[in-house]
Structure 1
Amino acid sequence: MPVPHDVILRGGHVIDPVNGLDGLHDIAIDGGMIAAVGHDLGPAREQVDATGLHVLPGIIDTHVHLSSWLGGAEGHRMLARAGVTTAFDVAGPVGSVMDLAARYGTGLTLACIDYVRPGHTVDTTDPAADELRDHLARARAQGAIGLKVLGGHFPLTAEATARVIAVCAENGAHVAFHAGTLDTPQDMRGLRQALDLAAGHPLHLPHVNAYVRGSQDHILTETMEACRLIEAHPNIWSESYLAPFNGNSAKCANGIPESVATQRNLVKGGYAATSQGMEDAILGGWAHVHMPQDGENLLATGEAALAAWRAADSDIGCSFYVNPPEARINLAIMKRASGRFAIDALATDGGGIPRNDLCERGLALVALNALTLGEFVVKTSAEPARMMGLPGKGHLGIGADGDITLVDLARRQAVSSFGGGRPILRDGVVVGRGATILSPPEAEQHLRDKGLQTRLTPPFQFRPLQPSL
């Protein structure tokens, strides 16, 4: 008798552009890895009927928020229900991310970078290189694989921003930059400045659609310029999201919102950039509070939302509908002359922010024939895996990680998922537990002491350099 496989997914339509798979196949998993793809794979200890479903490499969301500062514990369940198997918290604070993952994890693989925030992780808006090196060392010791400049929310000087990027480059750390500095706002001017400040160093430029809102030129002109600029800078790895609303912190101090982005969005909606303006915007339906309900966060306005904001002493998330469709859709589908996508990946900036919509909105583009299903996989799994230096993810080849997402195309929903061969989502029900952290070597024991699994991520693994064309 043949030895049974651990798991076999039978009868699904497998889509794996990396390995040229597009058809009905069974997939066997042994020891957490893909053992066979084909037909008549023999017996299994567990069988999953994938008939009528599409079987994809596990979805990787390269921009989420899972900290007490932004996103919260609810994000783990929300990501699992969305079919995500690997996620990248792009802000931190890292200690909070790890604490929540240990307590509320749903079986995902996670990575995290830590924010560079004046008055919190650095002293001023113009930290010197030595202070940044010290911050990076502290962040790594807690589990972060790099740093994030929150220019749109808590900007630094342009010079300090360039120092963060350079310090991360010299230490092989990942670095992301929410474009914007003390003298340049979060728009096309911020995007252009970000490319200059990178000075050829690797840089993760998140949510390109956040800089393309038609504030400086026609929205489509800005969209085309953003794509041309990024194509001309092979040191940049970029992503965009499809949701019409953004995500902010609603926290106020001394009578004003702490986040510059929140201030600007209040003004955009015709409200004062003050605590009272925030109250008025919540009641007026412009500011949507991220309200916990049944283990997830929902968008809410009105009296109940205002009560939640007050009960949290304003320390709660909020969103504004500020992302035009012209940029969101075109940035998702536009390609370079080489045939590669202009913006490398689709992400959500979600997690605990209620817009984990890679299936909901991304598969809508497939239904419109704006993307093929294989291209959807490229943007939500294959390219993210390459950026994160994870050759075992993003495809379903023999020996790959057993990360799989099963989707119902008609409903544009994830049905089930596996991470390392272990179930995360089963028929729409979250069953996964714990988390595996992509960890710097120096944080391994610290994270294991918290009860977290680790996967070592040495310096220079996360390097968003584009391949030679």
Structure 2
Amino acid sequence: MRRRLKWGAATACGAIALALVPGPASAGNSYDLVIAGGRVIDPASGRDEIADIGINGGSIAAISASRLEGKRRIDVKGLVVAPGFIDLHAHGQDPVAERFQLLDGVTTAIDMEIGTAPVAALYRRMEGKALINFGASASHICARLEVMSDKRCGPDVEGRLTADPAMLVKGATPEQEAQITAILDREVASGALGYGIGLEYVPGAGRREIFRVFEAAAKTKAPVFVHVRSRPPDQGSGVPIAVAQEVLADAAATGASLQIVHVASTGLRDTPAILELIKGARAHGVDVTTEAYPYTAGSTAIGSNFFADGWQERNGATYGDVQWPATGERLTKESFDRFRKEQPDAAVVIHIIPQEVVDRAITDPIVSIASDGMPWITAGEHPRGAGTFSRVLGQYVRERQLLDLPAALAKMTIMPARRLEAVSPQMARKGRLQAGADADITVFDPATIRDRATFDQPMQASTGIAYVLVGGQVMARAGKVTAHRFPGQAIRSDLPH
């Protein structure tokens, strides 16, 4: 019978044992590595007990409440051993972003919201150079760029949202819509993990165009991840409920799987109603999910459509709510206009999400955790790219006690894994602590884990993460990243064509 433990019960007194200690091996029953004596929590199965984990190669070979023997042994008594955290909304596919996410317990980071094209170029660029597992959706923005202008996306779409402003606001003909969906289908066949639609940034995309993408997704069985509009395409202003209803209707009509990204920053004060819509749709057979990050501010390019005329009224915001990360200053109309003209691709932080809305989203059982972390281009991006997962565990679980530990871990592990496992068999081996699963593992101290990244100083790694393993390799130990080792693997779709 498993011993269920309360939060904090596994906290050790004294220092964390951080050394790899040789363990005695018995013939025929020795593992490459044993993670020994920690509180093993597997939200997928409900396991919650003090146990040893035996690892061979890149896989978990055994989990036992009895002692396991190994060539190497890590004593993690007093610590929590969890599946490696999975982030399905991570724009930072670069070494700096990977390092901060690794130190936040993340072992797989995928850009499902905006995505990229060609996805094969992204995989080539990162293969053999990645600290953690990586991947992307097929980018609707990139497909639109290819069809409706003479420009192309590179291996990473970041910084290209203002590459062709005319393309973003221009409507597509039926023939162009067919070409756009054909490109997206091509990318999914090449390994993209779904269809990424940043509707907020493409006001010219009409309802029919997006419906065609959902039709394509229903045929390929790949999910659609959507950043919904800030206003309907046929109205000067709108409310979040209306734009959420658009994509829910498309999913219901086509049978496509849908994830509405960052529900709190999209929904603002309408978030509770949007969550009711999602739950109602799920109850009637629509495959729809959502996620959120634990911050009261969002971030986007200052030149993006988010700041199109009327943005203050749509979001209940002022210029003073917009922060220039490089200096920390809050903007005025004059500085806002200057930056928007001179540096349109630069990201700003927008302080517009009420705390009660964030709390409502993070604690709702259907909402998973995702960072929406941006690429680290300067020293002043949004802190969510460095501290999202530790912030949930430190604040929402330990300090405020709004979530219990297994529920919080489920939001970071098995929930995102299940969202993609029908598309990629690789994901069916992640987000779990079970024999046969990939040895992507995060070990942390429940008494000390916390985020350190702030809006004024975002480039600060989280603390309380003792070890992070990627594919069975120890990639982080006591806040330090293992050098010259790159076990991260491309996560690809594997769908019949």
TM-score by length of 1: 0.76
Q: Which one is further off, 178-187 or 12-21? A: 178-187
- Give the partner amino acid of 1:173: A
Match of 1:388 in 2: 420
Shift of 1:392: 1.4
**Structure 1 residues 264 and 438: CA distance shift in structure 2, 3 A:** farther
Q: CA deviation at 1:223?
A: 5.3
SS in 2 for 1:361: helix
Q: Write the distance in 1 (CA, Å) between the matches of 2:219 and 2:75.
A: 49
Q: Distance in 1 between matches of 2:324 and 2:195?
A: 28
| Offset of residue 122 of structure 1 | 3.6
- Match of residue 237 from structure 1: 289
- Displacement of 1:395 in angstroms is 1.6
Provide the secondary structure at the position in 2 that maps to 1:437: coil
Q: Which runs of 5+ in 2 are unaligned?
A: 1-25, 149-169, 376-381, 422-426, 450-463
Superposed CA deviations along residues 155-182 of structure 1, whole A, max 9, x for unmatched, are: 3101101111111221233321211252
* 200, 208, 212: which one aligns with 1:163: 212
CA distance in structure 2 between the partners assigned to 1:265 and 1:79 by the alignment:
31
Provide the C-alpha distance between the structure 1 equivalents of 2:277 and 2:355, rounded to a whole number of angstroms: 17
Residues 391-419 of structure 1: CA distance to partner in whole angstroms, max 9, x if unpaired?
21222111111111112212224332112
* 1:65-144 superposed matches below 5 A: 65-66=91-92, 73-90=95-112, 91-95=114-118, 97-98=122-123, 101-102=126-127, 105-106=130-131, 108-117=132-141, 120-123=145-148, 124-126=170-172, 128=174, 129-140=177-188, 143-144=191-192
Q: Helix, strand or coil for the counterpart of 1:234?
A: coil
1:20 Cα offset (Å): 3.0
Which residue of the partner structure matches residue 225 of structure 2?
Answer: 176
Alignment CA distance shift 1:262-1:374 (3 Å): farther
Q: Does structure 2 retain, via aligned residues, the 8 Å contact 1:366–1:376?
A: yes
Distance in 2, matches of 1:226 and 1:398, equals 34
Q: Residue 398 of structure 1 corresponds to which residue in structure 2? A: 435
Q: 1:316 to 1:174 in 2, by over 3 A?
A: same
Deviation at 1:52, TM superposition (A): 2.1
Query: What is the aligned partner in structure 1 of residue 473 from structure 2?
Result: 422
User: What residue is the counterpart of 2:160 in the other structure?
Assistant: none
Q: Which amino acid aligns with 1:397?
A: Q
> Do the aligned partners of residues 262 and 378 (structure 1) sit closer, same or farther apart at CA in structure 2, a change above 3 Å counting?
farther
Q: SS of 1:366's equivalent?
A: helix
Aligned residue identity for 1:240: A
Residue identity in the other structure for 1:322: I
SS of 1:423's partner is strand
Task: Report what 2:323 is aligned to.
Answer: 287
SS of alignment partner, residue 260 of structure 1: helix
Q: Distance in 2 between matches of 1:322 and 1:151?
A: 20
Give the match for residue 459 of structure 2: none
Change (3 A) 1:221 1:164: closer
CA–CA separation in structure 2 for the residues paired with 1:138 and 1:84: 29
Partner of 2:89, secondary structure, is strand
Q: Distance in 2 between matches of 1:137 and 1:212?
A: 29
Counterpart residue identity of residue 24, structure 1: I
RMSD of the TM alignment (CA)?
3.2
| Aligned residue number for residue 446 of structure 1 | none
Aligned residue among 377, 381, 405 for 1:373: 405
Alpha carbons 2:226, 2:260 under 8 Å: kept: yes
**Secondary structure at the counterpart of residue 130 of structure 1:** helix
| Percentage of pairs with the same residue | 24
